[in-house]
Amino acid sequence: MVFSNVTFLFVFLPLVFLAYFAVPFRFKKGVLLVFSLVFYAWGEPVYILLMLYSIVVNFYMGIGIERYPDRAKSTMIFAVALNLFILGFFKYYGFLIENINALFRLQLPIRELALPIGISFYTFESLSYILDVYKGKISCQKNIVTYASYIAMFPQLLSGPIVRYSDIAEQLEQRKIDGVRFGEGCERFLFGLAKKVLLANTIGNLFDTIHAMGGDISVLTAWLGAVAYTLQIYFDFSGYSDMAIGLGKMLGFTFLENFNYPYLSASVTEFWRRWHISLGAWFREYVYIPLGGNRVPVLKHIRNILVVWFLTGLWHGASWNFIVWGMYYAALLLWEKYIFKPRNFPRPLKRLFTMLAVIIGWVIFSADNLSGAMVTILRMFGIGASGWIDETGLYYLSTNWLLLLLGVLFSVSLGRRLYRFLWKNCRPVLSISCGVLFVLCVAYMVTQNYNAFLYFRF
Amino acid sequence: MKLRIFQAVSVIVLFLFILVLMQEKTPREMPLSEVERLILEKTELNGMTRSDALRFKRAYGLNAEDYLEILYYEPETTMDVNELLIVRVADSGQTETVRAAMESRIAQQQNNFDGYGTNQLEILEDALVYSNDMYVCLVIAGDSRTLMDVVRSIVEE
């Protein structure tokens, strides 16, 4: 089930609220767990067993680490290895066999198993829990319903943010549920829904159209496609995060922010502090810092960056273009750190260069394969393109310029400024605007058949 | 000791789960190029023409790349309604979405021809949707039943 779906909005969510607010506090976790399992099972009737398995094993491993200190290390290693095996098998098995076959000219059979939705997210949450219990940063959870409601919590189950147990442990036991927070959550959810339904899906249509053209496209059309995807993925993913944070707030939870206007960044380093913050924080905490972080000799630091970005790329999918995308960012970060520090450049110019790097990154990310990415990038710079400007490009520009402009304006801080202005000066207009936005979203949802989020596939 | 037993059991359970999952996938998944070849061997697709992912997206609002494969024959002219769509899904969770898109397409076409296209409406009323674990199929044709029987005999092999 997805958030931007009429069934979710008008059937599932009202039932959740009805049950959640009707029961006493001590039963709320149970209610949340039951509905979260229904939410997951809706699309994954088989893989819910895998998630339940992961919950049970990690829950008891956490207890084992704390109860048997002499075996804590081996238990931690077992749990980490098991989690990585599950993730590796279900996500990378086909990719691995494909590469072995290609490399050694073998014909090992490939079984196409569907990717369990959300596996990358809940596995990383489980790993953070096990590692934090092992390090003694947190006490293990002794109530399996509480632990299961943390892992399976439907607002953040499928596409994050990756909520670490340490950030939410207290809230699982005690949280503030009131009308004001509920209202704030509704508002946040609505803005996320609008990002997804009105902007991401609509801009995504432009990208799909250009992507499906393949062959003869001009430089202008290639750039339009790349910019469209750049905006689509931002509104899609940040929209999901907004909805998740909003739902969390309605239920009394506070999740950490996952985006902070990444397209305003003046460097690639800053971009990754603002984009998918929870994933960056996870890799920093559990990979980069244990490897020594940046407090090591230069060569080791370079190794650390390469390892982290190789894994970041791989985390996004079992495909070489994701790995190359990760390594591309590793190269850019090392470039910024050791080679080129444009301190005296004006900030708008730095932002422009950063956006250029990010857009090229998204071309690698969105391509079907590496050669496709390379062809598109070359076309964007005039190599292999059918001219600089053609009628197709002009047509798509003239019919989509307003949409793209709105996309650019809302991907920076226009939305926030507009909201603050209306909140301070004109609250009735804000209320009416929210109502109109909701009606528009519903109208779009009814007519759009397909609403899956881009990050579901990761 | 209990911990070690639990660990051993959890490993065994995981391997059993994977084994069952692999067994479940044993039915032969035929690529759609093969399905198409067999359909064309057994019958003619009148009033429809081979189409592509972009036209599929426009008609059904779905992205072809989200599925393993699609085979789409669209109406030959604007006055035709004959269609054949077969989607090879990546997992059974996608089936519901595809079926909903197909139902929505039938309703949309009925709406388009409502009031003047009596023949087209009759054909649309006989439209058939079928799905199994791997394929979701839509047939809109003068003799939908016969064409669907051909399709089913191939995808159920």
What's the complex ipTM?
A: 0.80
Name the domain count of chain B. 1
pLDDT at position B117 is 80
Contact B60 A43 (CB under 8 A): no
Question: For an interface test with A, which of B1, B12, B14, B19 has the most A Cβ atoms less than 10 Å from its Cβ?
Answer: B14
Q: For residues A412 and A402, give the distance between their C-alpha atoms in angstroms, rounded to a whole number.
A: 16
Question: What letter represents residue A274's amino acid?
Answer: R
What residues contact residue A97 under an 8 Å CB cut-off, 6+ apart? Answer: A108, A109, A110
Among A50, A53, A452, select the one facing B66 at the smallest CB separation. Answer: A452
Element (H, E) at A281: helix A277-283
pLDDT digits (tens, 9 = 90+) for A402-429: 999 999 999 988 878 888 888 888 888 8
Q: For residues A431 and A263, give the distance between their C-alpha atoms in angstroms, rounded to a whole number.
A: 28
| Integer-rounded Cα radius of gyration of chain A | 23
Name the closest residue on chain B to residue A445, using Cα atoms: B61
pLDDT at position A332 is 95
From A207, A211, A249, A246, select the one nearest A229 (Cα to Cα).
A207
A3 or A128: which leads in pLDDT? A128
pLDDT at position A451 is 55
pLDDT digits (tens, 9 = 90+) for A142-194: 999 999 999 999 898 877 789 999 999 999 988 888 889 999 999 999 999 99
pLDDT at position A449 is 54
What residues contact residue B48 under an 8 Å CB cut-off, 6+ apart? Answer: B73, B74, B75, B76, B80, B82, B83, B84, B141
Among B22, B93, B104, select the one facing A449 at the smallest CB separation. Answer: B104
Distance of CA A427 to the CA centre of its chain: 32
pLDDT digits (tens, 9 = 90+) for A79-118: 999 999 999 998 888 888 888 888 887 777 666 677 788 8
Region of B112 (left: φ > 0; alpha: ψ -120 to 50; beta: rest) is alpha
pLDDT at position A343 is 73
> Cβ atoms within 10 A of the Cβ of A217, count?
25
Task: Enter the pTM of the model.
Answer: 0.78
Contacts of A49 in chain B (CB under 8 A): 17
Q: For residues A155 and A290, give the distance between their C-alpha atoms in angstroms, rounded to a whole number.
A: 30
User: What percent of chain A stands above pLDDT 90?
Assistant: 63
- Say if residue A456's pLDDT is above 60: no
Catalytic residue among A211, A276, A301, A316: A316
- Per the prediction, chain A carries an average pLDDT of 89
- Tell the residue number behind the tokens 């599925």, with chain if given: B67
Whether B3 is covered by a domain: the verdict is: no
- Residue A276 falls in the annotated catalytic set: no
pLDDT confidence tier of residue A457, bands split at 50, 70 and 90: low
Number of H helices, E strands in chain A: 21, 0
pLDDT digits (tens, 9 = 90+) for A194-229: 999 999 999 988 888 888 776 678 999 999 999 999
pLDDT at position B78 is 82
Among B25, B90, B97, select the one facing A450 at the smallest CB separation. Answer: B97
Q: For residues A166 and A135, give the distance between their C-alpha atoms in angstroms, rounded to a whole number.
A: 12
pLDDT digits (tens, 9 = 90+) for B83-138: 999 999 887 778 888 988 898 899 888 888 887 788 888 899 889 999 887 899 99
Among A43, A68, A212, select the one facing B53 at the smallest CB separation. Answer: A212
- Structural domain range at position B44: 28-155
> What are the E-state strand segments in B18-124?
48-50, 69-75, 83-88
Contact call for residues A103 and B38 (beta carbons, < 8 A):
no
Q: Is the peptide bond before A161 cis (omega within 30 degrees of 0)?
A: yes
What are A's interface residues with B at a Cβ cutoff of 8 A?
A: 43-46, 49-50, 53, 56-57, 60, 64, 68, 71, 75, 78, 82, 85-86, 89, 111-115, 117, 208-209, 212-213, 368, 448-450, 452
**Domain-by-domain residue ranges, chain A?**
6-174, 181-457
pLDDT at position A446 is 79
Question: For an interface test with A, which of B4, B7, B52, B54 has the most A Cβ atoms less than 10 Å from its Cβ?
Answer: B7
